[in-house]
Amino acid sequence: MEQILNQLGGLMLGSVPTILLFLLLIAAYSVLVQGPLNKVLAERRARTSGAVEQARGAISAAEAETAVYEDKLRAAKAEIFQAREQKLKALNSERDSSLEQARTATQERLKVAKNEIEQSAASARQQIEGASAALSTQILRAILPAGVPPEAIQ
């Protein structure tokens, strides 16, 4: 058993440089590889997170601009609709005034025509009355005896 312990002690003594080299290797790995690797990974995470945040910000900005453009589009459509309504009102007003002028002109012509007809009728009545007086006189002369004057009958 002593021999085993001696061998174990020798192995342990022989493994001390290996253990020291292993610890030195771990320290060198930590300093040379793991530190820069962690820095690069942290930088990559920061850039990725930053890019994702930038993308989210750009998306929200684009959505805001889209909302602004939609509002402008709605306002432009409303303005066009109002302009169209105003044009329609103006055209309707112009049409109504033209119709009113035509009605007024037609009524004036109608009044003039009625006056002309009434004057023609009055003149025709006068002519008929004058002609009827002359005709009645002729009828009376034809019917009455020759010696009675027509003025005596009236």
Q: Exposure of 140 by Cβ count < 10 A (0-12 exposed, 13-18 middle, 19+ buried)? A: middle
What is the distance between the alpha carbons of residues 51 and 63, in angstroms, rounded to a whole number? 18
Query: What average pLDDT does the structure give for the chain?
Result: 88
Q: What is the DSSP string of 126-149?
A: HHHHHHHHHHHHHHHHHHS-TTS-
Supply the pLDDT for residue 142.
78
Beta strands in the chain (DSSP E): none
pLDDT tens by residue, 56-91? 999 999 999 999 999 999 999 999 999 999 999 999
Supply the pLDDT for residue 16.
87
Q: In the block, which residue shows the tokens 């006068």?
A: 126
pLDDT at 154 over 60: no
Model pTM score: 0.42
Residue 23: half-sphere exposure toward Cβ, Cα within 13 Å: 6
